[in-house]
């Protein structure tokens, strides 16, 4: 067995909740059809915002249908999403964590960019606008960044390493990478990893408006008339196992996490550097034992902002050279929105779907080609394509980059 093969990680379960509703297959069905989940924002103060669109989890999501009242009182929306996705992923994996002490050999790593933002916003309003003398007694355990991780570990009796990862828009990919590295190191046999975000509070929307990076109509990655990103929310969670562990129990392998790459721009806090992005992609390829020509598809970070899209295009050209024009590249944020710390997890669902079904999801709304963005972005229409291996890119504010290399089982 070559070294790259020995480091490969089996993905045996996935779960999600997104602007399309509950379920990883629900998310993938929408993406492979090129449907958009961007809609008018539902919020009691939407009229006070300039930007009134988002990729929001539908009203049909009823937390009370998933959690008893006592537990629900402890769960911010970001933890609700994480648990729904984790429960789906674990059920699909078929693992019994009570058997043979597996819970002691299972890690939980969940990424989130802002944590319990809904709780923070609600309690701040009570304190400062309503002059409340007392806040909700469970505010801290609801809003803390590690709450989703802790809730998953408690719900399933997972007693291995458990922690949160916060690296803005790269949080999911960093979390999944850390989980994979622990499995490789032999610290654990299994990991539950992914990302979650519920960032559509009034305060967060105001803050994003102030940065002037939000589009007020829709998201158009790589298009000359792009106007910015559209915020989204949701969660994606995966069950990862050492290949030996998965094979020993005869598990269905959804995809192989073959390599990870991580880097820091060490430059500007908001302006991306193509050298940093390129470094993470190059590392992911090397870690996976793949050459540029082995990659058929890249799920791009593709936010739809003026700075990100040409920078990512430049980085892809740098890494892939003459193979770059042959790549299928798409940004699914054009459909599920930019869910910040959860984005990479939602995008991994898209990558696994593309590999399984041989369909690349499109970049929606790409109606005006930009000369600075000159790759094949699978504009507007899904494409049938055999995907042997793919990269999933996440590049965050702060210059923090994390790339996953995934191949067919």
Give the catalytic positions in this structure: 169, 301, 338
Q: Which two three-digit tokens encode residue 143? A: 């809003």
CA dist 144 → 115, 136, 141, 153, 177 (Å): 6, 14, 6, 15, 22
Dist. CA 229–CA 220, nearest whole Å? 8
Dist. CA 145–CA 155, nearest whole Å? 17
Handedness of CA 50, 54, 58, 64 (dihedral sign): negative
Contacts of 1 (CB under 8 A, 6+ apart): none
- Whether the Cβ atoms of residue 281 and residue 244 lie closer than 8 Å to each other: no
Dist. CA 77–CA 200, nearest whole Å? 10
- Whether the Cβ atoms of residue 275 and residue 282 lie closer than 8 Å to each other: no
What are the contacts of 67-76 at 24+ separation with CB within 8 A?
73/138, 74/138, 74/141, 74/142, 74/151, 75/142, 75/147, 75/151, 76/115, 76/116, 76/117, 76/118, 76/119, 76/142, 76/143, 76/147, 76/198
């Amino acid at each position: 067995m070559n070294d790259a093969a020995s480091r490969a990680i089996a993905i045996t379960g996935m779960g999600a909740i997104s602007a399309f509703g509950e379920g990883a297959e629900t998310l993938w069905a929408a993406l492979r059809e090129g449907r958009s989940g961007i809609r008018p924002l539902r919020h009691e103060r939407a009229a006070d915002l300039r930007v009134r669109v988002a990729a929001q989890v539908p009203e049909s999501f009823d937390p009370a249908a998933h959690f008893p009242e006592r537990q629900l009182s402890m769960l911010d929306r970001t933890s609700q999403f994480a648990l729904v996705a984790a429960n789906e992923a674990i059920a699909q994996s078929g693992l019994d964590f009570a058997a043979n002490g597996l819970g002691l050999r299972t890690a939980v790593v969940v990424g989130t960019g802002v944590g319990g933002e809904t709780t923070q916003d609600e309690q701040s309003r009570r304190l400062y606008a309503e002059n409340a003398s007392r806040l909700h007694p469970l505010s801290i355990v609801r809003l803390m960044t590690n709450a989703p991780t802790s809730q998953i570990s408690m719900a399933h009796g997972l007693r291995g390493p458990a922690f949160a990862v916060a690296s803005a828009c790269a949080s999911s990919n960093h979390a999944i990478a850390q989980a994979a590295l622990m499995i490789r190191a032999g610290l654990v046999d299994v990991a539950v990893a992914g990302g979650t975000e519920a960032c559509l509070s009034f305060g967060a929307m105001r803050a994003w408006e102030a940065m002037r990076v939000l589009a007020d109509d829709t998201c158009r990655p790589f298009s000359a008339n792009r106007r910015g990103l559209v915020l989204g929310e949701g969660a994606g969670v995966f069950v990862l196992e050492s290949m030996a562990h998965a094979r020993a129990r005869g598990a269905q392998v959804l995809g192989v996490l073959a390599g990870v790459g991580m880097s820091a721009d060490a430059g500007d806090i908001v302006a991306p550097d193509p050298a940093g992005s390129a470094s993470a992609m190059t590392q992911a390829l090397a870690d996976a034992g793949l050459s540029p020509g082995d990659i058929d598809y890249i799920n791009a970070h593709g936010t739809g902002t003026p700075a990100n899209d040409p920078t990512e295009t430049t980085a892809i050209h740098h890494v892939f050279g003459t193979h770059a024009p042959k790549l299928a590249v798409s940004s699914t944020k054009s459909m599920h929105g930019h869910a910040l710390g959860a984005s990479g997890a939602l995008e991994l669902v898209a990558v696994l779907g593309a590999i399984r079904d041989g369909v690349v999801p499109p970049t929606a709304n790409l109606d005006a080609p930009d000369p600075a963005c000159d790759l094949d972005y699978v504009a507007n229409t899904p494409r049938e394509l055999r995907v042997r291996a793919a990269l999933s890119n996440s590049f965050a504010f702060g210059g923090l980059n994390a790339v996953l290399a995934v191949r067919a089982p």
